[in-house]
């Protein structure tokens, strides 16, 4: 057993001990959700044990811990990867693990009926609902990745979902080494991805409706950008990633860098069209997805707050000066606050 697999076995044991030590609804729900997307998920793709007896016993242990037959969970998940329907035929292991869950329910119902009804069942149901939410938003527009360090540390690189679908046989420890640069990504973990409905694009639409907000946004951004650009040598060509529905950066840089050629790169044709309506001619509009580390001849690169992808890669050893719109608590390099009310700053990082 390799080190990564041994860690999975240890974490499964720790999860079981935690449920026994603190048997409450949050522990049961969050533990089921976490385990299903880490230990159980990896066990589906990698047996962990060389001998069949070890695999059967570990599968039975996960069945009791999660309250769901692991063999059925495995069949459903592999059918998802293969793009086929779930097999309807039950095997011997499916029946045995189903009997284990039923036996667990009977014992809990007889020995601790209050706990079973008010704690165990609600916790298990909440955990399954979280798993349903996770699965839904991991594939909201095909496989979608999330590259946040904290989530991927806690969930054993589960955020690398595009990479997992590209090669389901690749072990979880190696997923970050094979990041799909042009894959779909989200700034939110899957279970919180519904917050995209209240995303920065939604706020942008409010700005589009109000000239007062537009003036405020332009004034605050111009003040911050003027301060940072004064430290740079002459700029001839600027790459602006994500034109935005309201192209504040284009409008501000047109005033601050009147001699520079502005190039807007955006994967959304609708965003480009709306930005063009505000900025007009004199700007080069490129429909495409920006990939950090790609070759270009920009003297300055501008990254938006809504950038979806590996933001750390943007900050890491830039080939040219990069202006990064970021949250006020993530200040890097030379930084200027755009607005405390907007919780926003602009960071300038240089080679």
Q: Please name each of the domains of the chain with its CATH number.
A: 1-137 (no CATH), 139-198 (no CATH), 202-349 (3.40.50.150)
> Which pLDDT does position 347 carry in this prediction?
93
pLDDT reading at 29 higher than 90: yes
**Percent of the chain scoring above 90 in pLDDT:** 41
Neighbours of 252 (CB within 10 A): 21
The pLDDT score that the predictor gives to residue 181 is 74
Sheet holding 322-327, edge to edge: 283-287, 261-266, 237-241, 300-303, 322-327, 344-349, 334-339
Contact 187/146 with Cβ under 8 angstroms?
yes
Residues 86-109 have pLDDT tens digits of 767 777 888 899 999 999 999 999
Q: Reply yes or no on whether the pLDDT at 289 is more than 60.
A: yes
Comparing 64 with 140, the larger pLDDT belongs to 64
Dihedral over Cα of 312, 317, 319, 325: its sign: positive
The Cα 283–Cα 257 span in angstroms is: 13
Beta carbons of 155 and 34 less than 8 angstroms apart: yes
What is the CB neighbour count within 10 angstroms for residue 329?
Answer: 7
Report the DSSP beta bridge partners of residue 240: 264, 302
Residue 17 or 48, more confident:
17
User: Which residues lie closer than 8 Å to 83 by C-beta, 6 or more apart?
Assistant: none
Are 320 and 306 spatial neighbours (Cβ–Cβ below 8 Å)? Answer: no
**Average pLDDT of 133-155?**
90
Q: In the predicted model, what is the mean pLDDT of the chain? A: 87
User: Would you say residue 332 has pLDDT above 90?
Assistant: no
Provide the pLDDT confidence category of residue 200 given band limits of 50, 70 and 90. low
At residue 196 the predicted structure's pLDDT band, cuts being 50, 70 and 90, is low
The answer to whether residues 300 and 331 touch, using CB atoms and an 8 Å cutoff, is: no
For residues 168 and 45, is the Cβ–Cβ distance under 8 A? yes
Residues paired with residue 261 on neighbouring β-strands, in sequence order: 237
Gap between the Cα atoms of 96 and 163, Å rounded: 34
Say if residues 223 and 344 touch (Cβ distance below 8 Å): no
**Separation of alpha carbons 315 and 265, rounded Å:** 19
Instruction: Enter the pTM of the model.
Output: 0.63
Radius of gyration of the chain (CA): 25
Q: What is the largest CA-CA distance in the chain?
A: 80
Q: Which residue reads 């522990």 in tokens?
A: 27
Contact call for residues 125 and 132 (beta carbons, < 8 A): no
* The dihedral sign for the CA sequence 198, 204, 208, 209: positive
Band (pLDDT 50/70/90 cuts) for residue 204 is low
Burial 195-222 (b: 16+ CB within 10 A, else e): ebeeebeeebeebeeeeeebeebbebbb
Alpha helices by DSSP H, listed for 197-307, are 200-208, 211-229, 248-256, 269-279
Strand-pair category, 344-349 with 283-287: unpaired
């Amino acid at each position: 057993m390799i080190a990564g697999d041994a860690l999975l076995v240890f974490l499964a044991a720790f999860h079981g001990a935690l449920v026994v030590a603190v048997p409450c609804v949050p522990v049961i729900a969050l533990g089921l959700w976490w385990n299903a997307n880490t230990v159980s998920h990896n066990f589906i793709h990698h047996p962990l044990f060389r001998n069949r007896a070890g695999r059967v016993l570990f599968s039975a242990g996960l069945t009791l811990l999660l309250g769901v037959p692991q063999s059925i969970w495995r069949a459903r998940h592999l059918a998802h990867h293969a793009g086929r329907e779930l097999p309807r035929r039950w095997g011997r292991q499916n029946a045995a693990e189903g009997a284990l869950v039923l036996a667990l329910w009977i014992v809990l119902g007889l020995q601790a009926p209050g706990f079973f009804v008010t704690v165990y069942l609600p916790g298990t149901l909440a955990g399954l609902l979280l798993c349903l939410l996770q699965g839904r938003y991991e594939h909201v527009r095909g496989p979608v990745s999330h590259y946040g360090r904290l989530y991927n540390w806690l969930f054993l690189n589960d955020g690398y979902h595009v990479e997992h679908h590209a090669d389901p046989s690749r072990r979880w420890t190696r997923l970050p080494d094979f990041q799909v640069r042009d894959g779909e990504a989200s700034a939110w973990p899957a279970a919180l991805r519904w917050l995209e409905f209240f995303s920065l694009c939604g706020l942008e639409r409010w700005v589009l409706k109000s000239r007062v907000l537009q003036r405020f946004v332009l004034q605050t951004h111009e003040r911050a950008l003027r301060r940072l650009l004064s430290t740079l040598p002459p700029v001839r060509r600027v790459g602006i990633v994500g034109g935005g529905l309201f192209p504040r950066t284009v409008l501000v840089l047109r005033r601050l860098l009147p001699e520079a050629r502005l190039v807007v790169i955006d994967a959304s044709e609708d965003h480009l069209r709306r930005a063009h309506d505000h900025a007009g001619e004199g700007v080069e509009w490129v429909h495409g997805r920006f990939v950090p580390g790609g070759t270009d001849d920009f003297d300055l690169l501008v990254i938006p707050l809504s950038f979806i992808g590996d933001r750390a890669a943007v900050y890491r050893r830039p080939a040219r000066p990069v202006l990064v719109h970021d949250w006020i608590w993530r200040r890097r390099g030379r930084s200027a606050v755009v607005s405390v009310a907007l919780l926003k700053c602009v960071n300038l990082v240089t080679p």
